[in-house]
Structure 1
Amino acid sequence: MDHVETGRRAADAGDWTAAGHAFVRAAMDGSTEGAELAVGVTDRLVPLADAGSADAAALLAGILLEYADESELPRAVAYARASAGAGHPAGQRTYGYLLQSGIGVEEDPLAAEGLFRAAAEAGDAFAAFNLGQVTDDFDESLALLRTAADGGIEVAGAVLADRLSSVDRDEEALRWYLWAAERGHVGCMNAAACWYRDGFGTAPDPMQAVRWFLVMSAYGNGDGVHESIQLVKAGALDEAGIREAGRLAGDPGAAEALLPFLP
């Protein structure tokens, strides 16, 4: 069952908090309908939040910040502050983000870090991601980003790969670029393809490079096609290698389109 349907069923049962969470998950997966439905349940969440539900307040703050218009910012701030004050991890993370960014409140990076830490210690993966980006302790940053990635936050893998690359831990960095690429992070697809092409963190592997360039193209980034053509024109792959790259990319047709560029 998809998240929108899960949310509809929860709404039919009168569980507006569960409905809101499901619609937000759908929106995070790219569903416009999910975002619209999330905004649509805010009026149902307000009485729950006003009655003291920290979960409803945190959810309401997140929806208003992400999917409502700017006029809702004061309400979003109020509900984020209330849920954070009640010790709710999502509320702490959201209010910490506002303090870190100075959105709707006076900027306070120190307070933000404290809220991120409290939420991360309570198991909030997004808070671990946020804290991993602001802590001055490099090793702690790596550990937090790994925790966030383990929690399913693909961009955490991308940031972790960048951090590892910055200290020349290239083999580890490539593994995390691949981890995020496999989960749909287009920037990491490009990084993986370029690293395989140029031999960073691994021996040069033009077939894997073309594979990831083709996947990039399937995700709408035309640079992948251009880069693939350049490798084929340079004679980096033979016909069998091109077809294998297409198979690995899940796009045999794109590989066939490269064959006329063989020297």
Structure 2
Amino acid sequence: MRSIPSHHRLILAVLAGACLALASPAIGQEAEDGLEIGDAPAIMPVDPSDAGEIERGARPSSSTGDANRLDRGERDSAPPVTKGDKPMVGGEPDALQGINIYLRMGTPLPDVPPEKPYEGEPDTAYGAFQRGLFLTAVDRALPRAQLGDPAAQTLLAEIMSRGLGVKRDLKGAAFWYGQAAQGGDPAAMFKYALLLMEGKEVPQDREKADDYMRRAADAGNASAQFNWAQILVAGTPGVRGLTAAMPYYEKAAEQGIADAQYALAQVYSALKDVPAEKKARAREWMTRAARAGFDTAQLDMGLWLVNGYNGPRDYEAGYRWLSIAAARGNVVAQNRLAHLYINALGTAPDPIEAAKWYVLSRRAGLKDPGLEDFYLGLTEEQQKQAIDRANRFRRT
């Protein structure tokens, strides 16, 4: 199973339990990594006396000159080659690198659509950050942060928390996240809510953590929307909690959070009163989560297709998704894939490959009496080949 970042998924096991209690599942599956929320943390502002002082990290040996500037050398002096242009060497066009389909067709590139005019002040600190000029970003963000600019405070906190061009300082980063959260910055409210839940750099406070998470979600932060949905499900188990959480899952899913896409597919599938047009999209959301690399979604998508759950059966597509999840180390997928090889569902029968996947899932602790009987019925040579394949298996 893939590791699950805490800022994306806090309590997916709670959601799975709620969904399984409300709907007849296509399969039974044990949760491998249920994370509990526990007591949420609180907003007690940190007060580092040196919050305005940032210790700069070691500069690359190639850098010279002003220590307040990040010297990027000559590699940034030449303008980049634009799409469709021929690279220039010594002022003359060089041979085309790669293939430009418009040029090969003899058709010019379409005009770039006009940009909306921006009338505000450019954020030079964030611009420097985007270009990798972290020290310049610090120099330009710090004065604004000290004057109470939430965006500058958030940028400063991000740089300090990751140690980009400066010494990593989690306490200082927590201070600035807290300041920016109080100023209403959605990203800072989300990050500070996580700090309050964790309770390492700031004291824990569940009430304030939940408040910041909700406010960040309502302000449009995708990760906060997913986590606030999880909090609602945990706080109010059953239909009421899932119904209250659904709009937040939908918003996070639309913004590309794979965990939310997976959760939304399960919620649409589990709730009886979901409109038909939404229920019809359950497979779509599961597919999007699977394509994003979420191995649990790949497992469930494979099983839905094989079992004809929430749509027609498709053994071959189900086999492909289960193969991907199994190759990534999902133990349940390895077990189910063995059954597909035995029963020739979506693939040709292959007893040795079936035994290989059984051996791998059994080593991981997943018992299956039916597969064990199948394995014991193989010849000694077949068992040896299966074990050899299992020993050579490496996760992709």
Contact 1:80 1:92 in 2 (8 A): yes
Corresponding residue for 1:206? 315
In 2, Cα distance between equivalents of 1:188 and 1:91: 29
Corresponding residue for 1:52? 148
In 2, Cα distance between equivalents of 1:188 and 1:67: 34
Corresponding residue for 1:84? 181
The structure with the larger Rg is 2
Corresponding residue for 1:149? 253
Change (3 A) 1:40 1:202: farther
1:103 to 200, 205, 209: 200
TM-score, normalised by the number of residues in structure 1:
0.65
User: 3-state SS of the aligned residue for 1:110?
Assistant: helix
Change (3 A) 1:41 1:124: farther
Q: Quote the offset at 1:238 in angstroms.
A: 6.0
Q: Quote the offset at 1:144 in angstroms.
A: 0.3
Change (3 A) 1:42 1:214: farther
Corresponding residue for 1:17? 126
Contact 2:196 2:205 in 1 (8 A): yes
Q: Quote the offset at 1:205 in angstroms.
A: 2.3
1:186-244 alpha-carbon deviations (Å, 9 max, x no partner): 32112211222234333442111122134446xx61556885565244222367xxxxx
Contact 1:39 1:64 in 2 (8 A): no
In 2, Cα distance between equivalents of 1:222 and 1:46: 45
Contact 1:39 1:67 in 2 (8 A): no
User: 3-state SS of the aligned residue for 1:184?
Assistant: coil
Q: In the alignment, is residue 132 of structure 1 matched against residue 239 of structure 2?
A: no
Contact 2:319 2:347 in 1 (8 A): no
1:196 to 295, 305, 322: 305
Change (3 A) 1:67 1:205: farther
Aligned residues: 213
Corresponding residue for 1:181? 290
User: 3-state SS of the aligned residue for 2:170?
Assistant: helix
In 2, Cα distance between equivalents of 1:166 and 1:38: 49
Q: Quote the offset at 1:78 in angstroms.
A: 0.2
In 2, Cα distance between equivalents of 1:73 and 1:133: 26
Decide which structure has greater helix share: 1
Change (3 A) 1:161 1:103: farther
User: 3-state SS of the aligned residue for 2:217?
Assistant: helix
Change (3 A) 1:84 1:194: same
Q: Quote the offset at 1:155 in angstroms.
A: 1.9
Q: Quote the offset at 1:84 in angstroms.
A: 0.9
1:56-79 alpha-carbon deviations (Å, 9 max, x no partner): 211332444466799622112101
Corresponding residue for 2:117? none
Q: Quote the offset at 1:140 in angstroms.
A: 2.1
1:78-134 alpha-carbon deviations (Å, 9 max, x no partner): 011100111111111211222233232222222122212222222222221221111
Higher relative contact order (CA 8 A, sep 6+): 2
Change (3 A) 1:14 1:113: closer
Matched ranges for 1:68-79 at <5 A: 72-79=169-176
Percentage identity across aligned positions? Answer: 24
User: 3-state SS of the aligned residue for 2:169?
Assistant: helix
Contact 1:196 1:203 in 2 (8 A): yes
Change (3 A) 1:205 1:14: closer
Runs of 4 or more consecutive aligned structure 1 residues displaced over 3 Å after TM superposition: 37-48, 62-71, 161-175, 214-217, 222-230
- Residue identity matched to 1:88: D
In 1, Cα distance between equivalents of 2:294 and 2:133: 25
Corresponding residue for 1:115? 212
Contact 2:280 2:310 in 1 (8 A): yes
Q: In the alignment, is residue 221 of structure 1 matched against residue 324 of structure 2?
A: no
TM-score, normalised by the number of residues in structure 2:
0.45
